[in-house]
Amino acid sequence: MKVNKQAVNNILEEIKPARLIAATKYVDEKEIEELENCGCLYYGENRVQAFLDKYDKYHGSGHWHFIGTLQKNKVKYIIDKVELIHSVNSYGLIDELEKQASKRGIKVHVLIQVNIAREESKHGFEEDEMSQVMEYVRKCPSLIVDGLMMMAPHIEPEDTRIYFKKTKDLLEQLKEKYPEYPLNELSMGMSQDYKIALEEGATLVRIGRALFEEE
């Protein structure tokens, strides 16, 4: 896999003012440095060990996000190395994030993952649980909720619109109810559906495949 520079440049221009989170699961630090040379400064990792390997070898000025499923026993390895954790999807993970953050005396920025389409194959809280989740997080002074993350079903891109819209509406409701949190980020949209996500309010799009080409 190598960086498709033209595609990266086009997408960076197309999505403004949203931010591109390059999903770098299948590339190493050399390709990440190429992304940085193209102006892409945010990298999303899915696996903790692979992230740690790249983190040690990468010497650029980009920003790391964690976008994959995060196991509780791996939190301590990344909590002080990533700027934003997109995939907070359980009370147990909330507890562990608070524990590790307070131990280090740091504030951790997170997104709450919502399973807006109620898919059994996907992680995340259901929409009607979110008030309960936010009340729970209120007891965690080390956590700052920047917004929501979701994954749309694998269906025709236009058919995903309703799920992106529902996530945006949910964020607006939470913003009114919990003014102590920023709640201004919506991480939604991937290579196949990011254009629809942007139209419905995405501020962060997680794109991998569309940025690369086979060597």
Q: How far is CA 185 from CA 130, 134, 180, in A?
A: 16, 15, 14
Q: Are 164 and 196 in contact (CB under 8 A)?
A: yes
Residues 60, 83 contacting (CB under 8 angstroms): no
Torsion of CA 88, 90, 96, 99, to 10 degrees: 80
Averages of pLDDT over runs of 10 residues in the chain (215 residues) are 94 97 95 96 97 95 97 98 98 98 98 92 92 97 98 90 97 97 97 96 97 86
- Alpha-carbon Rg for the chain, nearest whole angstrom, is 17
pLDDT attached to residue 124: 95
The pTM score is 0.96
- Largest Cα–Cα distance of the chain, in whole Å? 49
Cα–Cα distance for residue pair 67/149, rounded to 1 Å: 9
d(CA 58, CA 31): 10
Model pLDDT, residue 120: 82
Task: Report which DSSP code applies to 142.
Answer: T
Domain ranges of the chain: 2-213
The distance from CA 76 to its chain's CA centroid, rounded to whole angstroms, is: 18
**CATH T-level assignment (fold) for domain 2-213:** TIM Barrel (3.20.20)
In this predicted structure, what is the pLDDT of residue 121? 77
Q: Which of 153, 92, 151 is nearest to 123 (CA)?
A: 151
